[in-house]
């Protein structure tokens, strides 16, 4: 794919055209030539630096392999060099090569990783920078791998639990589409030619069938337009925020989502604290993990902590704790092991979320089957009701 890149070197601004597999590789190629990338154009669209699509670089695998090599006694440069040599994917190998070049220039690993914000998130870079000051990079990487593994386990649990309900909804929707779009129109034609009196609900259903029979293409176009508008609305952050704010008002579901966000918040903040990040700095860094309402509460709690208020009291005053979490935070304050205690809070609520997901899916699956069966059964009965009436009159 061809890319047109606007680059700068000193006071000179130039435009370059080159071949690359993706925007990230194009960025790396011009940076390797000593340029600073200002903008890139692909397929006629101008995008800002850093607005590239999601990278295929596997951060979790990189952390695990780097941890293994460092723990085996290799130096940092040797470890990065070994990872770059064995990497088969072009994008990942290019990133590792650039990181290795930065290390040869004398830059610390955190500064080298900071050149790729679309690959290495700020939390990861902060953890590496803190470990460089304390000299415990192996322990920091170990904490990150354990942290990410626990988050992935919870996420996989939720995704796995949602597969069967989603399949039920899709299959039920396809059955309904077949009945309303194919079967009902043909029944409506038969009953219309027979001239029999129909119950009003059957008339309503068959009127829908006649509408699809006579204006099927127009109905399909309207459906496509409606789907496109719905997809566009759901892609807007303001609409998603409004929907999520309404979902949060549902008592049981909203509380479960709140606990999930708090668990991730505590686990991440605990990992940063154990890595040597100051409390207030860590609170600022993890604010993006929370939804807007909790984010505002965290800002107020951060202000109280700056003013000298204990963390447990600040979090409790602004609704960022639960009855269990507040007690564990106070224990952490007394023992001086706040980072470890926060990770334990996250682990405790991860288990509670897993139980909630199991309970929800066990309740949702039979409910979906009953609802879909009722809808399909009602449609079938309404279609065959005139036949039942005819059979009754014959008897």
pLDDT at 46: 38
The pair phi, psi for residue 8, each rounded to 5°, is -135, 145
| pLDDT tier for residue 47 given thresholds of 50, 70 and 90 | very low
pLDDT in tens, 267-314: 888 888 887 888 888 888 888 778 877 888 888 999 999 888 898 899
**Residue 95 CB contacts under 8 Å (≥ 6 apart), including other chains:** 24, 28, 57, 116, 119
pLDDT, position 50: 41
Q: What is the pLDDT of residue 229?
A: 92
- pLDDT beyond 80 at 227: yes
Q: How many alpha carbons fall within 13 Å on the CB side of residue 104? A: 9
Do 6 and 15 contact (CB within 8 A), yes or no? yes
| CA distances to 180, 190, 221, 395 from 184, in Å | 5, 10, 20, 27
Average pLDDT for the chain: 79
pLDDT at 42: 65
Q: Distance (Å, rounded) from C-alpha 180 to C-alpha 208?
A: 8
The string of pLDDT tens digits covering residues 152-195 is 877 787 788 778 888 888 888 888 778 777 777 777 666 666 55
Cβ–Cβ < 8 Å for 379, 371: no
pLDDT of residue 55: 56
Say if residue 2's pLDDT is above 80: no
pLDDT tens-digit series, residues 352-390: 887 877 787 788 778 888 888 888 888 777 777 766 665
pLDDT digits (tens, 9 = 90+) for 93-129: 888 888 888 888 888 888 888 888 778 888 788 888 8
What is the rounded average pLDDT of the residues 125-142?
82
**φ/ψ bin of 75: left (φ > 0), alpha (ψ from -120 to 50), beta (otherwise):** beta
CB atoms within 10 A of CB 273: 23
Better pLDDT: 14 or 75 = 75
d(CA 66, CA 182): 58
SS3 of residue 150 by DSSP: helix
> Can you name the residues that pair with 5 across neighbouring β-strands?
16, 40
Residue 113, CA atoms < 13 Å, CB-side half-sphere: 20
How far is it, in rounded angstroms, from Cα 179 to Cα 301?
56
Indicate whether this model's pTM tops 0.85: no
């Amino acid at each position: 794919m061809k890319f047109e890149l606007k680059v700068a070197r000193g006071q000179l601004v130039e435009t370059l055209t080159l071949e690359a597999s993706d925007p990230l590789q194009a960025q790396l190629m011009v940076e390797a030539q000593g340029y600073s990338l200002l903008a890139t154009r692909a397929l006629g669209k101008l995008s800002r630096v850093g607005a590239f699509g999601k990278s295929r670089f596997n951060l979790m695998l990189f952390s695990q392999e780097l941890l293994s090599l460092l723990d085996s006694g290799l130096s940092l440069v040797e470890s990065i060099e070994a990872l770059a040599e064995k990497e088969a994917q072009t994008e990942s190998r290019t990133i590792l090569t650039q990181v290795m070049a930065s290390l040869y220039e004398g830059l610390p690993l955190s500064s080298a990783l900071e050149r790729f914000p679309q690959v290495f998130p700020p939390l990861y870079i902060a953890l590496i920078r803190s470990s460089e000051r304390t000299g415990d990079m192996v322990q920091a990487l170990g904490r990150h791998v354990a942290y990410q593994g626990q988050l992935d386990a919870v996420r996989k649990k939720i995704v796995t639990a949602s597969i069967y309900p989603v399949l039920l909804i899709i299959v039920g929707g396809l059955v309904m589409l077949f009945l309303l779009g194919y079967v009902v129109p043909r029944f409506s034609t038969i009953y219309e030619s027979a001239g029999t009196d129909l119950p009003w609900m059957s008339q309503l259903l068959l009127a829908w069938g006649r509408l699809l029979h006579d204006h099927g293409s127009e109905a399909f176009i309207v459906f496509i337009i409606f789907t496109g508008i719905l997809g566009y609305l759901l892609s807007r952050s303001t609409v998603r925020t409004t929907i999520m704010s309404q979902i949060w008002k549902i008592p049981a579901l909203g509380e479960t989502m709140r606990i999930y966000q708090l668990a991730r918040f505590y686990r991440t903040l605990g990992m940063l604290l154990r890595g040597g990040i100051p409390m207030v700095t860590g609170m600022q860094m993890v604010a993006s993990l929370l939804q807007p309402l909790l984010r505002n509460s965290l800002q107020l709690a951060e202000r109280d902590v700056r003013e000298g208020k204990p963390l447990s009291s600040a979090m409790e005053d602004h609704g960022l704790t639960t009855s269990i979490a507040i007690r564990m935070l106070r224990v952490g304050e007394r023992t001086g092991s706040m980072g470890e205690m926060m990770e334990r809070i996250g682990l405790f609520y991860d288990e509670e979320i897993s139980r909630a997901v199991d309970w929800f899916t066990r309740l949702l699956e039979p409910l979906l089957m009953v609802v879909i069966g009722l809808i399909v059964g009602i449609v079938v009965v309404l279609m065959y009701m005139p036949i039942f009436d005819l059979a009754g009159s014959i008897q």
